Amino acid sequence: MRNIEIAKEILQTENQSVVMVKNEEVIYKSTDSGIKPLLFAYQNSIEELEGASVADKVIGKAAALLLIDGKIKELYAELISDGAMEVLNKTEIKVTYGKKVEKILNRDQTDLCPMEKLAQDESEGSVVAEKIINFFGGKN
């Protein structure tokens, strides 16, 4: 079974929010919602991310920039935004998804997701990571 298939299967069968697989082994998974699990993996395991296959429930531009910076190989997103696809299409990362939307909204569906607002004018994962950390008051 390919890494991305393993990640996708675990994402769906174990109700995870993100699953990262490399060399047919799970290197990280989380049931936490939002961008925090990706930020944690980015900050604590960036070397391990290189070449990994990632399956995630929701990928917006902020998350995409973190994954690009982490040099992942493949991505499956259940839901992905146009902004995420725009930056991912400039890379060699193979992307598949369940549904594509114009933008990722906040939990109330009343406005743009706060992380998407932070990433709107950015092109570097490290800058977005710093903005996200500051958004959460310096805690991840």
Residue-level pLDDT, tens digit, the chain, 140 residues: 799 999 999 999 999 999 999 999 999 999 999 999 999 999 998 888 999 999 999 999 999 999 999 999 999 999 999 999 999 999 999 999 999 999 999 999 999 999 999 999 999 999 999 999 999 887 55
**CATH superfamily membership of 3-135:** Hypothetical protein TM1506 (3.40.140.30)
Q: How many CB atoms lie within 10 A of CB 139?
A: 6
Q: Residue 140: count other Cβ atoms within 10 Å of its Cβ.
A: 15
| Domain ranges (residues) in the chain | 3-135
Provide the whole-model pTM.
0.93
Tokens of 55: 């399956």
